[in-house]
Structure 1
Amino acid sequence: MQDASQGLPDAPDTVAEAMTRIDSLIETAPKRLRQSAVFTRRHLHLIAVSTVSEMARLAEVAPSAYMRFCQALGFSGYSEMQAVFRAQFTTFRPDYDTRLAALRTDFADDADSLLSDFAESGHKSLLSLNNSVASGQMARAAKMLAGANFIHVIGLRRAFAVAANMVYLLNKLDLAALQHTGIGSLDTPLNIRPDDVIFAITFAPFSQETVSLSQAGAANGARLIGLTDSESCPLSEFAELMLIARENEVGGFRALNAAITLSTALAVAAAAARQRD
């Protein structure tokens, strides 16, 4: 059988170029390479943060088969492919037309299958939480929120829904909290004081507005908890505590299962901690 990598040029220099080759493999490669290509195309964000063994397990192929897939793309191995994705991880996301095109190819406009895949993706996201949140981090974050004079929740763009849910719960649980939305450019770090805690949420590619306001609030003396999906999040430079919630994706689309579950659990834990104290 002709090797799938025969005739390919040197290793791709960009994520976009790698995606083009992945799409080609989906159309032409043997079964295991195609299986690896289909999984990788739907879960591009995992490459930057996963090992080859993890990618192979999730794709349901042997690590050796996944390595052959990397080589079929033109890379010497998984490490070289991962380096390309890590270099662009914080800035690259396929546009929505590209994501929809991938969905039409994979699901043939079958809404029932699409729902099943999103449900399965959400289940995997929730299962990964225990691995991404280190032991003791939730208790420490809950204690910080419980001891705050006021909680400032900052989450814009895709993180907006997580922030809104968090503030709703905190207020219902008698913990004073405010959501910073950026409406009318009224958010100001002058409102954030040393006895306050900031709960900032941003996912790759990161919201500069969220980072800037959080940094200014931290400079005023407030303590900062960050929620993100990547260790490379710029909040980590001045946050006291970082929580990681990674989302599986379907055709480039990510729901907020892990992030909303984590923030909901944290709000309840903070209320319980305040009640104990």
Structure 2
Amino acid sequence: MSELSAPQTIEELLDRMLEVSDGLPKRLKQCADYVAANPDRIAVSTVAEMAEGAGVKPSAFMRFCQVLGFSGFSQMQRLFRDSYAQNWPDYPTRLEKLRESGAGSASALLAEFIEAGRLSLESLAKTIDPDTLDASIRALSQANMVHIVGLRRAFSVAAYFAYAFEKMNVPTMIHDHVGRLDNRHAIRKGDAVIAITFAPYTPETVELAEAARAAGAEVIAITDAIASPLRPITPLMLTVTEADFGDFRSLSATLSLAVALVVAVGASVP
């Protein structure tokens, strides 16, 4: 059974689990039952966390992945992360959908995006965890240096953080990967990193956050969902769900959160 090719879609994975479940040993059957009941956990959990949830040892969960045809847990996890990222169409597809829907004039589009922004802000007010927000502000206020990484759609947020912290005399470094330069070795213990990424998640941002945590720096994640790959890296995760119109997501709530963090940190630093 380990010679099977790996499933290429989540549907294929679930079908294979049904095929093999009756013949699985007890521990591997526990793994199958846990995965079937908690598919949303796979993209954001470590193999140790999945094994704990299933009530087995990590080695048993690894064996379960191999029985399904994967080389290991990382390959199975990649399937779920890739599937999550594919939920968002590319920009030409989004524009074509808007044309087909007859979205109307520019003023009508503006009204729709204003409404999406309003919904995003209301959601942020209801879902932000005050304790995590306070802990994030403390970590940033006490940091020797604040490193910021946010690429693609998140770059404007990262640029705002860098600009505002500089104006408040907070030592800051933005990691923008210009020229494909990798400055992760500038991160030291006692520093803090703000990592910003949204689905489809940017691998460079996740990798920098992982390197920062390994270096002993605090990591503050600004991301959008439980499926974010930043979740296993840090408990300081500030989730922002942006409403969309025509599959275009604004940054209204994310930028409001950024302003709040900057002002709070600026007020805390002597």
Q: TM-score, normalised by structure 1?
A: 0.66
Question: 1:54-65 alignment to 2 at 5 Å?
Answer: none
Secondary structure of the 1:199 match is: strand
Q: What is the one-letter code of the residue matched to 2:99?
A: R
Question: 1:1-277 alignment to 2 at 5 Å?
Answer: 88-275=83-270
Q: Work out whether residues 188 and 213 of structure 1, in 8 Å CA contact, stay in contact via their aligned partners in 2.
A: no
Q: Work out whether residues 245 and 259 of structure 1, in 8 Å CA contact, stay in contact via their aligned partners in 2.
A: yes
- Between the aligned partners of 1:168 and 1:220, the Cα distance in structure 2 is 25
Q: Work out whether residues 190 and 217 of structure 2, in 8 Å CA contact, stay in contact via their aligned partners in 1.
A: yes
- Between the aligned partners of 2:90 and 2:265, the Cα distance in structure 1 is 37
Note the C-alpha offset of 1:101.
1.6
Q: Work out whether residues 154 and 180 of structure 1, in 8 Å CA contact, stay in contact via their aligned partners in 2.
A: yes
* Range with greater deviation from structure 2 (157-166 or 94-103): 94-103
- Between the aligned partners of 1:217 and 1:87, the Cα distance in structure 2 is 24
Note the C-alpha offset of 1:118.
0.4
Two-structure CA RMSD over aligned residues (Å): 2.0
Structure 1 residues 86 and 130: CA distance shift in structure 2, 3 A: farther
Q: What is the one-letter code of the residue matched to 2:223?
A: T
Secondary structure of the 2:85 match is: coil
Secondary structure of the 2:230 match is: helix
Q: Work out whether residues 163 and 201 of structure 1, in 8 Å CA contact, stay in contact via their aligned partners in 2.
A: yes
Q: What is the one-letter code of the residue matched to 1:117?
A: E
- Between the aligned partners of 1:137 and 1:107, the Cα distance in structure 2 is 42
Structure 1 residues 108 and 127: CA distance shift in structure 2, 3 A: closer
Secondary structure of the 2:263 match is: helix
- Between the aligned partners of 1:259 and 1:227, the Cα distance in structure 2 is 8
Note the C-alpha offset of 1:174.
1.4
Q: Partner residue of 2:21?
A: none
Unaligned runs of 5+ in 1: 1-12, 15-47, 49-84
- Between the aligned partners of 1:86 and 1:158, the Cα distance in structure 2 is 18
- Between the aligned partners of 2:149 and 2:90, the Cα distance in structure 1 is 25
Query: How many pairs does the alignment contain?
Result: 194
Note the C-alpha offset of 1:99.
0.8
Unaligned runs of 5+ in 2: 1-10, 13-39, 41-79
Q: Work out whether residues 195 and 220 of structure 2, in 8 Å CA contact, stay in contact via their aligned partners in 1.
A: yes
